Structures are given as C-alpha cells and as structure tokens.
Amino acid sequence: MSKRMMLNRCLNAGLKTTTRLPQLSKLSLIRFYHPISTEYDNSEALLEPLEYKMDSVQSKILSHCIKEKVPHYGFTEKALVSSINDLGYDSTMLSIIGSPNSPSIFHSSPAVMELLKYNLVTKRYNLITAELREGLVNKQDIPSLETLLIQRLKMDKQLGPKALKSLMGQLSIPSQLLMEVALPELFRLSDDIIYFSKEKDHTDMAWYTKRLGLSLTYVTSKLFMTQDKSVDYEDTIEFAKWKLNKVMNLGDYYNNVEEYAWYTVMTSFNLIKSQISKY
Amino acid sequence: MLRPQLNNNVTRPVRCFSALAGLNASTKAATNSTTPKDKEQLEPLSPAQKAYLERAIRVDQAGELGADYIYRGQIFVLTRKYPHLRPILNHMWEQEVHHRATFNELQLKHRVRPSLITPLWKMGAIAMGAGTALISREAAMACTEAVETVIGGHYNEQLRVLNNQYEQKHAGGKGKATTPEEIKSLIATIKEFRDQELEHLDTAIQNNSRMAVPYMLITEGIKGVCKLAIWSAERI
C-alpha cells in the first residue's frame, strides 16, 4: 500500500471514529500544515525527511564526509569509506547509512544516495537561522529573496568543482532519487526561501508560479556554477541575480497585462452601458 | 465590473483603482503566535493530524473564495433590477470577504498550499452566482440556501474532528490531555463562520428561496456540485 493511500485511509478513519490518528512516518511527498505555536515540545523533532538526529553516528559520518572528503572524491562511496575509516568506525556503517534508501540501478549505492540527501537537507535547514525560523528577527532585518538564494548558492562553494558536477549529475538522473529526494527538496528549498524572506506570498496560482520560478532560477544557477571558473564563483552570483530579476519580471508582465485587460473590459462595459441608457 | 459598492458605514478594505496593485507590495513579517512558554509543552502534532489540518485550511479557503465570488455574481446581476436586495446581499458578501481574508491569512501563516484549481473555483462560483440570479431572484436565494446548507454541514464535520482528534498529551506525560491554543483558536474561528453561514441560510429562506422554480432541481443540483467541489479542493 502506498504512503498516500495509507494516509488517506487514516484520514477517512479519523472522520468516522473517535480513535486517535496513528503516527505515520516517511511521507516524503505529502505537504503538511506547519504548526507555528510554541506550545509544542519539538525537542525530539528530526530534520525531515532525515530519519536520524543530528547527534547520531550517521550524521557525524555524513557531515565529516561532506566537509573533508567530498571536495576531494566527489559524492562517491570512496569518500564515505574514507570518512568512516578516519572516524574509526566499522565499515558496516556503510549499510546502516544507506538503510533508509532502497537500492537503485541508477546510483552506485544507497549510502551515496543518503549522502546526497543529507547534503541537501542540512544545507536547507542551515540556510534559515534559528532567530529567523522562530520569527524573532526585526521586520527590517528579514532577508530578501535574492539574499537567501545567493546565500544558498554560496553554501556549495566549499564542495569544489568536482563534487558539484557529481552532485548535479547524480541528482538529475531520472530515477526514484529524483522523484523522492531531489525534486521535493528543491520545492522545500524554494518554499523556505519565500516563506522566510520578505517576499510577498500569495493565496492563488501565483503561489505555485513563484515557487516554480525560484526553483528554475536556483537550478539554472547551480548548473552554471558547475561550469564556472571565475574567482569565488562571482559569475554565478551575477548570473543568479540576473536570472532572478528576469523571472520576477515575468510576474510583472503578467500582472500588467491582466490589469490592462481588466481595465479594457470595465471601460468597454461602461461605454456600452452609457450608450444603452440613452434610449 | 463585478465589484459591488460597499456601504459606507462598514470598514472598507483598502481598494485602489488597480485590482492588482497589492501584488507589488512586499511587506510580510514572519510573526509567531505569542503563547507563554512557561506552561508545560505538549506533544507535537502527528503527521496525520497535520495532514488533516492542511486539508481543512485549503478546502475552507477555496470554499470562502467560492462564496465571495457567488455573492459578487449575484450582486452584479440582481442589484440593478432589485435595489432593495442590495443591503441584504452586501451584508452577506462583506461577511464572506472577511471569512476569505481570514483563511487566506491562515493559509500563508501555516504554509498550506492553495488549491491548484483556484481559477476554476473563481469562474465556477461567478457562473453559479450570476447564472442563478439570471433565472430569478428566488433562484439566487435558493442557490444561497443550497450552498450554505452544505457549508454548514461541512464546518460541523470539521468541528467534530478538531474537537475530538486534537487532544495532545503533555510532553512529560503528566496532566490531562488538552487541545493546543492554536487548534482552539481555529475551532473558534470555524464556529463563528459556521454561525454566520447559517444566518445567511435563514436570510435566503426569508427572501423566498423556497418559491424558486424549479426549486428541487436548483438546490439539489447545487448541493451536489458543492460536495464535489469540497471533495476535490481537499485533495487538489
């Protein structure tokens, strides 16, 4: 039974009975209500969709690997093995790290898939500071969309050109990883950036188009970054600013056209009405 | 065109010439609710509880959007011919505008995605409002009656779930399970809105909705459409 079916079944059961809704985990593609109250105890919360805490062994190995080994070896099993050896763990850790993923013919090993996932998820969380997350920042200090986007791009500077290429290559292979990790993470990233920046959010179709536009900007800038040889990725940052500006202008074009069309409809309606009222 | 005049004695929403001027504004604060921290904290909501809230806010937002546009359509068609209906319709419409604004705010605050077929809801609602109003004023009232009946039932169902599925235990395991403040305020909002919707239902009946021809066809048809819309707005 798929996760979505399971959830639907629980929701329907919840409507009919008075039993408690059961705990469900691993609903990677389903979007949730975001509780903003401070009355909940979130000390046990995980960085969804990761299934272990930040002080666990898995997390220690993966973060060490991203910091020390990935720039040299890229996102490969070799980097992981080398990290495990350096930290003095047993090599069976490799299968523990890979356990949340099922094997895929498109990727070398489940552990590498977990490494890719860990890289995306932790960087997304680290982008938003704790003060910003809890809404403790002054109104004028809330960052703009552009600031957050560039900050996120800069976070990948440390990976180096080789690892960046292997990251983008592995994430864009049409596979289960793309559908269950790469695309949802991309969507969550643009959702986070819009929610926590001072950018206006929307209640209609613009909600979707703005996220889509931002995701496109991010992915194209990231692809640009893999080929970028300029000092400190200056060209990438310039490209991202230009691209974001262009995408946001598209929204303005649409709004202006709609406004003009509405104005035309109103004036022609009033014109007809005034002509009819003569008779 | 479809924007009827508001009475002067109510608080006017800010409305410029441009219907879209607001899109360029960029003021948004990531504000949080201010619950005192000294109280013992509750268990976090489970994924299923969060998923239900997500559905509920999306469907309510889409529903209030629909209601707003139904009244706009009715006012556009009816108030020219029957000026005495203007205050009644305007009163109901203003309440719907307030409901819609409230759920829009909840949707943004709780990061719920809006319904993907929002443009369809807008067009369908205007067509429903204007279409029934074109048949006759009684038909328009019958449409209101049908819509508000379904909405009242829908809100009641949500209240039942919110009241008996959201009693959270304390994190330490001590004390009686309580409903979080966040959920309590949502329950209060929905209760208030449900009462106002049912008030609209009474208004419609007082304005001869039962005399609409063909009454059964209009009310039952619209009830069916509303139920279908609720079902799909929860999911899509």
Chain B neighbors of A200, CB-CB under 8 A? 23, 25-28
B3 lies in some domain = no
Domain of B73, in residue numbers: 45-235
- For residue range A202-261, list pLDDT tens digits in order: 888 889 999 999 999 999 999 999 988 888 889 999 999 999 999 989 988 998 999 999
B167 lies in some domain = yes
What type of residue sits at position A235?
D
Task: Determine the 3-state secondary structure of A33 from DSSP.
Answer: coil
Question: B72 or B31: which carries more pLDDT confidence?
Answer: B72
Please state, in angstroms and rounded to a whole number, the distance separating the CA atoms of residues B166 and B177: 9
B contact residues 127-186, partner A, Cβ 8 Å cutoff: 157, 161, 164-165, 168, 171, 180-182
- How large a percentage of chain A has pLDDT more than 70? 89
Task: Please answer yes or no on whether A14 and B30 come within 8 Å at the CB atom.
Answer: no
A202 backbone dihedrals φ, ψ, rounded to 5°: -125, 165
What domains can you pick out in chain A, each with its CATH number? 50-269 (1.10.357)
Lowest mean pLDDT across B35-49, B106-120, B143-157, B177-191: B35-49
B40 lies in some domain = no
**pTM, whole model, 2 decimals?**
0.79
- For residue range B164-212, list pLDDT tens digits in order: 888 888 877 777 788 888 889 999 999 999 999 999 998 988 888 888 7
B39 lies in some domain = no
Q: Is B8 on the interface with A (CB under 8 A)?
A: no
Chain A neighbors of B111, CB-CB under 8 A? 33-34, 191, 195
Chain B neighbors of A207, CB-CB under 8 A? 113-114
Minimal Cβ distance to B26: which of A40, A198, A266: A198
B13 lies in some domain = no
User: Quick one: pLDDT at residue A120?
Assistant: 92
Q: What is the CA radius of gyration of chain B?
A: 20
**A123 pLDDT more than 50:** yes
**B9 pLDDT more than 60:** no
**A30 pLDDT more than 80:** no
B104 lies in some domain = yes
What type of residue sits at position B42?
L
What sign results for the dihedral spanned by CA atoms A55, A120, A137, A37?
Answer: negative
Instruction: State how many domains chain B has.
Output: 1
Q: What is the CA radius of gyration of chain A?
A: 23
Interface test with A, best of B3, B31, B50 (most A CBs within 10 A): B50
Task: Please answer yes or no on whether A36 and B182 come within 8 Å at the CB atom.
Answer: yes
B36 lies in some domain = no
**B10 pLDDT more than 50:** no
- For residue range B24-61, list pLDDT tens digits in order: 444 444 444 444 444 578 888 888 888 889 999 999 99
A contact residues 153-192, partner B, Cβ 8 Å cutoff: 191
- How large a percentage of chain B has pLDDT more than 90? 39
A contact residues 3-32, partner B, Cβ 8 Å cutoff: 7, 10-11, 14-15, 18, 20-25, 27, 30-32
Smallest Cα–Cα separation from B28: which of A195, A98, A149?
A: A195
Please state, in angstroms and rounded to a whole number, the distance separating the CA atoms of residues A246 and A250: 7
Q: How many angstroms separate the Cα of A25 from the Cα of each of A30, A62, A272, B105?
A: 11, 22, 60, 28
Interface pTM (ipTM) of the complex? 0.76
Calculate helix-pair angle for B47-81, A3-16, nearest 10 degrees.
Answer: 70
B185 lies in some domain = yes
CA distance A37 to chain B (A): 6
